[in-house]
A and B are shown apart, each in its own frame.
Chain A
């Protein structure tokens, strides 16, 4: 699969790349340089989520705006801050992109296309829509299949990669999410909540890489708590009346 270019659209001032960063001083410079090189017309925001290393300094050195949380709020909180920033400054689309270099900015065009064309409100970059050669550890794979099943059950729509952190959200979605968003990593429960509100979700195929440096958000303690929390949150998202 050839990574396509971000396309001919002029995205200046329209698309904001939101990069949640928690202790990512090592991988951030590389990620920023790559986004700049492969998608020069999009704006970037770093949400420094209570890092104890030099994440903020590294980002500032790269000339990118940084918003710093005084404490660690989690990926969900970081995105919420990013959405609010995007709303206040009139961006049409917010793109969630990991700081660790997992997501190739070359796929931004593919990711943005359905949202720019108005065919979807949320576009999810998926490792599994086509065979892309990515293989997660067994426990992760089981979880993904399970929660993909839960989402399918709730929405009658197949989302194969519910935990993808490479997504594009349009303004209407960001307007809602800046006030109401999951605290932890936004996956199955968020997708269910958004679809229940009538937003259209779509998946596009992307290639993801191994993380370059830093630590994954999934630690051992969280691996036990996560399935419980996510199942309950999914159920609540499903039975809660959409506001």
Chain B
């Protein structure tokens, strides 16, 4: 297998190691399966580009990139943007859910206090 440069090997090996780390995080329940998906896809794509020079060159040609390195960077950047957007959406939803839970909790606690006061009054 012919590599274009030593960098390509570093990138490929790095991607595989990151993928293994992500899977290990899932195993240790530090990362949910849902969140691991994007990471696994991204590292797999980078690893394929790193290990297979023909595919890398073909995609570079297809996208009209000036160099093979740009292709790898482009994929990395695209993943970073996708991940950030995904996290922003998740964060917004979490904030909304948190908001709702706080309001529910407040009302329930108030009702509980009321009931306790009533019981105290009757007994």
Check A84–B103 contact: CB distance below 8 A: yes
Check A73–B110 contact: CB distance below 8 A: no
Fill in one digit per residue for B88-99: 1 if any A CB lies within 8 Å of its CB, else 0: 000000000001
Check B110–A69 contact: CB distance below 8 A: no
Interface residues of B, dominant DSSP: helix
Stretch at the interface among A60-68, A96-104, A140-148, A207-215: A60-68
Give chain A's interface residue range (CB within 8 Å of chain B).
10 to 19
Q: Give how many A-B residue pairs fall within 8 Å (CB-CB).
A: 34
Is B70 in contact with chain A by the CB < 8 A criterion? no
Is B107 in contact with chain A by the CB < 8 A criterion? yes
Is A81 in contact with chain B by the CB < 8 A criterion? yes
Check B109–A73 contact: CB distance below 8 A: no
Shortest distance between the CB of A85 and any CB in chain B (Å): 6
In Å, the complex CA distance between A68 and B111 comes to 11
**A-chain residues with CB within 8 Å of residue B103 when the two chains form the complex:** 69, 73, 77, 80-81, 84
Residue in B102, B109, B114 whose beta carbon sits within 8 Å of that of A71 in the complex? B102
Which A residues lie at the B interface, using CB under 8 A? Answer: 47, 65-71, 73, 77, 80-81, 84-85, 88, 183
Q: List 7 additional A-B contacts (Cβ < 8 Å) besides A81-B107, A183-B99.
A: A66-B110, A67-B106, A69-B103, A70-B102, A70-B106, A73-B103, A77-B102
